Chain A
Amino acid sequence: MSAPVHARGGPVTTTRRAVLWVPDWPVAAAMREAGLGADAPAAVLHGRGMVAVSAAARAAGVRRGHGKRQAQRACPEVVILPYDEGRDAREFEAVAAAAEEVVAGVEISRPGLLMIPAEGAARFHGSEEALAEALVTAVAEASGHECSVGAADGLLAAILAARASVLVPTGASAEFLATAPVTVLPLAAMERRQREAVEDLVSVLGRLGIDTLAHFTALPVGDVLARFGPVGRWAHHIGLGHDVRPPVLRRAEDDIEVGYEFEEPAQRIEQLTLVAAESSRLLDEALLAAGVRCARVRITARTERGDVLERVWRTDVGSRAGAFARHMTDRVRWQLEGWLSGTANGPEPAPLTSLSLTAQDVIALGDEQAYLWGGVSGADSRAQRTVERMQSLLGPDAVLAVREQGGRSPRDRVLASPWGQETTPARKVEHPWPGRIPDPAPATVLPLPEPMQVLDAGGSPVVVDRRLALSAPPTWVRLQADPGRARAAAARRHPAAGHVGDEPTWAEVQPIEAWAGPWPIAERWWAADASRRAYLQVILRRTEGGPALLAAFSGGQWWLEALYD
């Protein structure tokens, strides 16, 4: 995993840097993949024009932007290669790896362009000339590509220096840039969209008669911003030889991963407990050896049937320097138990054949970020320990963390997940959710709706018809009998009380004081989990002041959804 290591904070100043540039990278990469020699005429076609042209083809008269016909007319033997951004990036890894043999920490600005902080590396190699020589040699030997290296202060100057293969002395970058034409500005734009914006800017500047960077940067920055917007300001900044941001260095890191293959598929918990402990310990050691900690651990297991089970657990970087292995052991064991017993929702349980733990969100030790207001407080770690204790008592699924998520009914708006497990809400809170049951939200939301009866004045059930109208004003409500009052329930269950079959035991009917609705909600009618409901808010009339209910009509029946108690 290549995780960016955050550069030091503070205001962005100009950094001395070396740039390694491989000319015509897209075509160089494509030729390498197509197995062509470096001297073959070739070009990469994207859309209607050539985006990169090899040196031989350029000598024959093929230019960037030429169409296919035009290129073939200029040089009949030119090989036209397809454009592939993925290939560019993939092939460039070899160049980056070669450069990393010479200097530690390089930034890939874009495929074809490497950024290297020059100061430390030059000191190590003796001089910038020596550094440049070492880089060119290493890249040529290890990856077989020709490259040129330049060094200067600031981003744009360094790129130009690399293209010209010169080392601009410290402090001379401003003069070096001053004579350059404005058309070099797009070179400093690393992203395609940004480059297009800068190219537009450059063409306007050309028409305005502003040819060189010196002319452009002589303009007051306020006027440039007013006329050209943020792009203009960025170009002005870059043109002066400043940096927009400090270099973000790449760290060559392999995935920190611990794997375990079961000799024979494991299906008993006891087999797994030891494996969980052992692999957690190995992962902890591997992390420590690499000098990093991780914020999340991905647990992956493969079953005999070939299913791959995967779950991500959060680990707390701040507080658990020593207890990591033990902490992870529990989580791995819980996860494996869940998969084996099939309690966790997923594919059918099957014996496991392999297990692997992968560290994610890796950060260097000591780079951990504390909370904005102070560190992990004593109360936080105490609460964390409590949660762990409860999880070890009851199992991981019994201790829940809750979050709000989008939805219309009160039950849909809650996302509960085992404490410490990473989940993503299925529905976003920010979306509008028209037809949502209005606030205040009910204080009691039944985990499973209970059947109830809503009756009209004559005692017959109220229904909601297809046009969402109530058959009659609701007057009475009958809830299920409280299971705690067994005797009362038993009396009513007697056939003499009119109880038949599997019907729930009903309590007495209660009069309705006031009601509102029906509020129809038809959700996901296009999917298998479609639901069509109509909601009713009801206040019951009692001497002690009635509680309010939320009832839903669905499938020809009323359900008690929630209580406003």
Chain B
Amino acid sequence: MPLAQVLSPLIPAGLARGSVVSVEGSTSLMVALAARASHEGSWSAIVGMPAVGVVAAARRGLDLSKLVLVPHPGTQVVEVAGACVDGMDVTLLGARLALSDADRRRLMSRARERGSVVIASGPWSGAHLRLVVEHSAWRGLGAGEGRLRERDLTVAVTSRREGATRRVRIVLDADTSGLRHGAARVAEEVA
């Protein structure tokens, strides 16, 4: 499955169909992983995340017309997650879902069979890929002035196949419109 340009250092091989990715510490990262595929026409579902920021998801490229939200699956979470894994290309699962380890294993094998991707918030034992945000730094805010502009994320990537943990630093919200670039360009011209 295609992956956004900024995320390719994280997973150089791309998001493999049928895999489960667990993400800890960043909702933005979860959405960003799904965004490119959705932009190219995949269907996605967000289950058990009542607080996901839809505008942020849309800005990252998620196609809202092909996005289904199930904010509160409640006790039916196993059936709902199963249906999503069956029918959707990308399924995002929230952190506080009543899924036992056996349920998770069953979902994994279903995803492998169907070729869909599960991106889960929080730890997931046996996930193909584990992304833990170790450090995140926002830029652009001062003491009472500015606004949030850019963010660096340091992510520990543990792949089940490779075993070893890599640490990758990415810029998640690169500021394309901002003053900094304009100022830099002006500086160049002056020079």
A binding-site residues for B, Cβ under 8 Å = 379-380, 382-383, 385-387, 389-390, 393-394, 398-404, 410, 413-414, 416, 419, 438-447, 470, 473, 484, 513-517, 537-539, 544-548, 562-565
Task: Assess the A514–B142 pair: CB atoms within 8 A.
Answer: yes
Min Cβ gap B122→A in Å is 11
Provide the bound-state CA to CA distance between A382 and B45, in Å: 13
* 12 sample A-B contacts, Cβ–Cβ < 8 Å, listed by A number: A379-B43, A382-B86, A386-B45, A394-B80, A401-B68, A438-B147, A438-B148, A484-B96, A544-B134, A544-B135, A545-B154, A564-B28
Range of interface residues on chain B?
A: 35 or more
Q: Is B72 an interface residue (CB 8 A)?
A: yes
Provide the bound-state CA to CA distance between A255 and B18, in Å: 48
Closest B residue to A394 using CB positions: B76
Task: Assess the A393–B79 pair: CB atoms within 8 A.
Answer: yes
Task: Assess the A444–B69 pair: CB atoms within 8 A.
Answer: no
Task: Assess the A402–B69 pair: CB atoms within 8 A.
Answer: yes
Task: Assess the A383–B66 pair: CB atoms within 8 A.
Answer: yes
CB neighbours (8 Å) of A398 from chain B are 70-73
Task: Assess the A399–B70 pair: CB atoms within 8 A.
Answer: yes
Chain A binder among B7-15, B46-54, B103-111, B182-190: B46-54
The 10 closest A-B pairs by CB, nearest first: A386-B87, A441-B56, A514-B141, A383-B43, A443-B28, A443-B27, A441-B55, A400-B69, A545-B135, A545-B136
Interface of chain B, main secondary structure: mixed
Besides the known contacts A390-B84, A445-B55, A565-B27, 15 further A-B residue pairs in the complex with CB atoms under 8 A apart: A383-B88, A386-B86, A389-B83, A398-B70, A404-B64, A416-B54, A440-B149, A441-B59, A443-B52, A443-B56, A444-B52, A445-B53, A447-B50, A544-B135, A565-B136
CB neighbours (8 Å) of A413 from chain B are 54-55
Provide the bound-state CA to CA distance between A259 and B145, in Å: 62
Q: Is B143 an interface residue (CB 8 A)?
A: yes
Min Cβ gap A219→B in Å is 50
CB neighbours (8 Å) of B145 from chain A are 516
Specify which of B53, B57, B136 is in contact with A544 (CB 8 Å cutoff). Answer: B136
Q: Is B163 an interface residue (CB 8 A)?
A: no
Q: Is B58 an interface residue (CB 8 A)?
A: yes
B binding-site residues for A, Cβ under 8 Å = 25-28, 31, 41-43, 45, 50-59, 64-74, 76, 79-80, 83-84, 86-89, 96, 134-138, 141-149, 151-152, 154, 173
Closest A residue to B96 using CB positions: A484
CB neighbours (8 Å) of B54 from chain A are 402, 404, 413-414, 416, 445
CB neighbours (8 Å) of A514 from chain B are 138, 141-143, 146
Provide the bound-state CA to CA distance between A514 and B134, in Å: 20
CB neighbours (8 Å) of A382 from chain B are 43, 86-87
Provide the bound-state CA to CA distance between A441 and B51, in Å: 13
Task: Assess the B68–A445 pair: CB atoms within 8 A.
Answer: no
Min Cβ gap B73→A in Å is 7
Task: Assess the A390–B70 pair: CB atoms within 8 A.
Answer: yes
Quick one: given A399-B68, A514-B142, are A441 and B53 in contact (CB under 8 Å)? Answer: yes
Closest A residue to B44 using CB positions: A383
Specify which of A442, A516, A544 is in contact with B147 (CB 8 Å cutoff). Answer: A516
Min Cβ gap A504→B in Å is 17
CB neighbours (8 Å) of A563 from chain B are 27, 51
CB neighbours (8 Å) of B58 from chain A are 404
Task: Assess the B137–A447 pair: CB atoms within 8 A.
Answer: no
Task: Assess the A443–B31 pair: CB atoms within 8 A.
Answer: yes
Task: Assess the B86–A537 pair: CB atoms within 8 A.
Answer: no
CB neighbours (8 Å) of A385 from chain B are 87
Specify which of A379, A442, A447, A515 is in contact with B141 (CB 8 Å cutoff). Answer: A515
Closest A residue to B154 using CB positions: A545
CB neighbours (8 Å) of B87 from chain A are 382-383, 385-387, 389
Task: Assess the B148–A440 pair: CB atoms within 8 A.
Answer: yes
Min Cβ gap B20→A in Å is 18
CB neighbours (8 Å) of A516 from chain B are 141-142, 144-148
Closest A residue to B136 using CB positions: A545
Which of B74, B138, B145 has the most CB atoms of chain A within a 10 A radius of its CB? B138
Quick one: given A394-B74, A473-B143, A516-B145, are A379 and B89 in contact (CB under 8 Å)? Answer: yes
Provide the bound-state CA to CA distance between A545 and B137, in Å: 5
Min Cβ gap A518→B in Å is 9
Closest A residue to B68 using CB positions: A387
Min Cβ gap B119→A in Å is 13
Quick one: given A383-B68, A516-B146, are A443 and B80 in contact (CB under 8 Å)? Answer: no
CB neighbours (8 Å) of B88 from chain A are 383, 386
CB neighbours (8 Å) of A394 from chain B are 70, 73-74, 76, 80
Quick one: given A390-B83, A441-B56, are A403 and B64 in contact (CB under 8 Å)? Answer: yes
Provide the bound-state CA to CA distance between A519 and B79, in Å: 44
Min Cβ gap B92→A in Å is 12
Task: Assess the B83–A442 pair: CB atoms within 8 A.
Answer: no
Task: Assess the B80–A390 pair: CB atoms within 8 A.
Answer: yes
Task: Assess the A404–B83 pair: CB atoms within 8 A.
Answer: no
CB neighbours (8 Å) of A442 from chain B are 53, 56
Closest B residue to A484 using CB positions: B96
Quick one: given A544-B136, A545-B135, A565-B27, are A404 and B55 in contact (CB under 8 Å)? Answer: yes
Which of A403, A470, A484, A538 has the most CB atoms of chain B within a 10 A radius of its CB? A403
CB neighbours (8 Å) of B56 from chain A are 410, 440-443
Provide the bound-state CA to CA distance between A563 and B148, in Å: 12
Task: Assess the B148–A564 pair: CB atoms within 8 A.
Answer: yes
Provide the bound-state CA to CA distance between A473 and B144, in Å: 8
Min Cβ gap A183→B in Å is 52
Task: Assess the B141–A443 pair: CB atoms within 8 A.
Answer: no
Task: Assess the B51–A539 pair: CB atoms within 8 A.
Answer: no
